[in-house]
Amino acid sequence: MDGGTLTAALVTLALWTYLYKDNPIFRLAEHLFVAFSTAWWVGELYRNYVKPVVLEDILQQGRWGMVLALLLGVILYARFVPAISWLARYPMSWMLGYGAGYVLAFQVKPLVGQITGSFLKFGSINSVLLWICIVSALVYFFFTISRENVAVSSVATFGKWVILVALGAAFGNTVLFRYTLLMGRVEFMLRDVLKVAQ
Amino acid sequence: MTFLAQAGVLGIFVEGNFAPFVMMLLFTIIVYVMIQRARAGLKIPEIRKLAGLDALDEAIGRATEMGRPVFTFPGLAGVTNPQTLAYFGLLGHVAKRSAQYDTRLIAGNVDPYVYPISEEIVRQAYLEAGRPDAFNPDDVRFVAYDQFPATAAILGIYRRERPAATILYGAFWAESMILVENAAQIGAISIGATANTHQMPFFVAGCDYALIGEEMYAASAYVSKEPVLTGTVVGQDWARIGVFALIIVGTILAQVQTTNWLKTILGK
């Protein structure tokens, strides 16, 4: 058995010990997992973001506008220096503004597609049922229309059940998928580690 | 729109985006009008009860009684996800309540951009609660920049810090069930909220209180009861009712016309 397979097997077993209870072996695996992930991402982010911006964009291609972006990134660390920690609020405000703007720009168009997709021509029972489900689920999410109105309340309740049925189907689907993940790990242990299965 | 796009006005107009642009403008106007009405003290519709949000104070109160911390986590998405923005609104309220009750708050983070914003929100909330001295920056934590290492780290926090209340509020993926199940194992009251359709079932099945889809966006207004924020939610709701009306009209047209002019307009 090569070192990689052995390590994978040991870490898998260490993580499975959590099924009994929290213990030092699980903690070791947990900390290794977190540490390796963090180290990998530091390298990855440096290679994909910091290095291309500093070495290629700024120093080689002379795109000096990127200095502003770099500066905003550096200012984020000002929060570790109490005297100038207020400076870090500027890049944070920038990020929040960017986030909100991005949402405004890109979230509306898919919504329009969903609306026009709901203009169903009733040619079958399925299309009628689908349309009723869409509309009633939408009514469930009305926050300002009183539920004391029997008609609204009935449609919203039906909408709630539609949502629950959909969630139940999704739940079963995902649980099955999780079983396949578990089977993959068990297969690895039996075939690659213990060599008791083909 | 075509003219503006061809003229290259500011370089921001794109052909084929007319309907989304008009809808965005309309939604903005509706929300703006509602906020102005709320500011002026005029009557605006009330928001219906949302059990998951009513349970927030109960969860923090329980943690206070048990002398154990409250744990919050915004999921894996970054600042460009509306669910994360909704979490920021809620985090301020939870942090303020925790500061008022003198309950420890642990806020986990996965995204490096979300992390400093969370820290700033919690710091500000402690300041507003008149307890800046109680704010501990080490309790706003960057757990890991990856899905399952972060999940493992949070399980570690669950086991070692034993929070009495866990609030999972944002965009979640496969880690959702692991988190809610472990919250149940340590006896924590759990509130879960997500708009990620494929993860909602796990929150509904595993959490004490679950908020689904649009419900989570009403959080900051609902818990704070602040009129201006409530105006925003009411505006959004009216926009939703507008969408409902569009679907009704569009479907009627689909039955009587071969070419649905409403679909054609919205498709532009």
Q: Which strand (E) or helix (H) includes residue B1? A: none
* B152–A30 CB contact, under 8 Å: yes
Q: How confident is the model at residue A6 (pLDDT cuts 50, 70, 90)?
A: very high
> What does the pLDDT read at residue B5?
61
Interface test with chain B among A48, A74, A94, A112, by most B beta carbons within 10 Å: A112
Within an 8 Å CB–CB cutoff, is residue B185 touching chain A?
no
From chain B, the residues in CB contact with A163 under 8 A are 212
From chain A, the residues in CB contact with B267 under 8 A are 112, 116
* A99–B79 CB contact, under 8 Å: yes
- In 10 A of CB B108, how many CB atoms? 24
From chain A, the residues in CB contact with B262 under 8 A are 119
List, for residues B202-211, the tens digit of each pLDDT value: 999 999 999 9
Within an 8 Å CB–CB cutoff, is residue A180 touching chain B?
no
Q: How confident is the model at residue B131 (pLDDT cuts 50, 70, 90)?
A: very high
CA–CA separation, B71 and B56 (whole Å) = 12
Half-sphere exposure of A64 (CA within 13 A, CB side): 0
> What does the pLDDT read at residue B268?
60
Q: Count helices and strands (H / E) in chain A.
A: 7, 0
Average pLDDT score over residue span B239-248: 93
Interface test with chain B among A22, A86, A116, A122, by most B beta carbons within 10 Å: A116
* B240–A141 CB contact, under 8 Å: yes
List, for residues A12-63, the tens digit of each pLDDT value: 999 999 888 889 999 999 999 999 999 999 999 999 988 998 889 999 999 9
Lowest mean pLDDT among A123-137, A151-165, B50-64: B50-64
Cβ partners under 8 Å of residue B260, min gap 6: A119, B250, B253, B254
Give how far A198 is from chain B: nearest CA, Å. Answer: 29
Average pLDDT score over residue span A118-144: 94
Lowest mean pLDDT among A125-134, B1-10, B164-173, B199-208: B1-10
List, for residues B148-182, the tens digit of each pLDDT value: 999 999 999 999 999 999 999 999 999 999 999 99
Give how far B254 is from chain A: nearest CA, Å. Answer: 5
Q: What HEC string does A11-68 produce?
A: HHHHHHHHHCCCCHHHHHHHHHHHHHHHHHHHHHHHHHHHHHHHHHHHHHCCCCCHHH
Give how far A2 is from chain B: nearest CA, Å. Answer: 24
Whole-structure pTM value = 0.89
Give how far A165 is from chain B: nearest CA, Å. Answer: 10
B116 or A107, greater pLDDT:
B116
Average pLDDT score over residue span B56-81: 94
Q: What percent of chain A clears pLDDT 70, i.e. is strictly above it?
A: 100
Q: What percent of chain A clears pLDDT 90, i.e. is strictly above it?
A: 68
CA–CA separation, B17 and B97 (whole Å) = 43
Q: How confident is the model at residue B46 (pLDDT cuts 50, 70, 90)?
A: confident
Average pLDDT score over residue span B193-213: 92
Within an 8 Å CB–CB cutoff, is residue A171 touching chain B?
yes
Cβ partners under 8 Å of residue A151, min gap 6: none
Q: Six-digit token pair at B125?
A: 């909330």
From chain A, the residues in CB contact with B80 under 8 A are 98-99, 102-103
> What does the pLDDT read at residue A3?
92
Q: What percent of chain B clears pLDDT 70, i.e. is strictly above it?
A: 94
Average pLDDT score over residue span A76-82: 90
Q: What percent of chain B clears pLDDT 90, i.e. is strictly above it?
A: 60
CA dist B43 to B29, B46, B55, B217, B228, Å? 18, 9, 27, 22, 12
Average pLDDT, chain B: 89
Within an 8 Å CB–CB cutoff, is residue A80 touching chain B?
no
**Domain regions of chain B by residue span:** 2-43+226-267, 51-223
From chain B, the residues in CB contact with A164 under 8 A are 204
Average pLDDT, chain A: 91
> What does the pLDDT read at residue B213?
87
Fold for B51-223, please state it: Rossmann fold (3.40.50)
> What does the pLDDT read at residue A90?
92
List, for residues A153-190, the tens digit of each pLDDT value: 999 999 999 999 999 999 999 889 989 999 999 999 99
**Domain regions of chain A by residue span:** 118-198
Average pLDDT score over residue span B122-138: 95
**B77-97 as b/e: b if 16+ CB within 10 A:** bbbbbbbbbbbbbbbbbbbbb
Which single residue is written with the structure tokens 């679909």? B263
> What does the pLDDT read at residue B228?
77
List, for residues B71-85, the tens digit of each pLDDT value: 999 999 998 888 998
By Cβ distance, the residue of A22, A103, A141 closest to B159 is A22
Q: How confident is the model at residue B13 (pLDDT cuts 50, 70, 90)?
A: low
- Those of residues 145-164 in A touching chain B at CB distance below 8 A are 145-147, 163-164
From chain A, the residues in CB contact with B82 under 8 A are 103, 107
ipTM of the complex: 0.86
Cβ partners under 8 Å of residue B66, min gap 6: B164
Q: Which of A165, A171, A160, A141 is nearest to B206 (CA)?
A: A171
B103 or B2, greater pLDDT:
B103
Within an 8 Å CB–CB cutoff, is residue B111 touching chain A?
no
CB B191 within 8 A of CB B169: yes
By Cβ distance, the residue of B23, B120, B266 closest to A92 is B120
* A30–B48 CB contact, under 8 Å: no
CA–CA separation, B183 and B162 (whole Å) = 9
Q: Six-digit token pair at B7?
A: 């003229």
Interface test with chain B among A81, A86, A167, by most B beta carbons within 10 Å: A167
Q: Six-digit token pair at B3?
A: 């003219």
Judged by DSSP in three states, A163 sits in helix
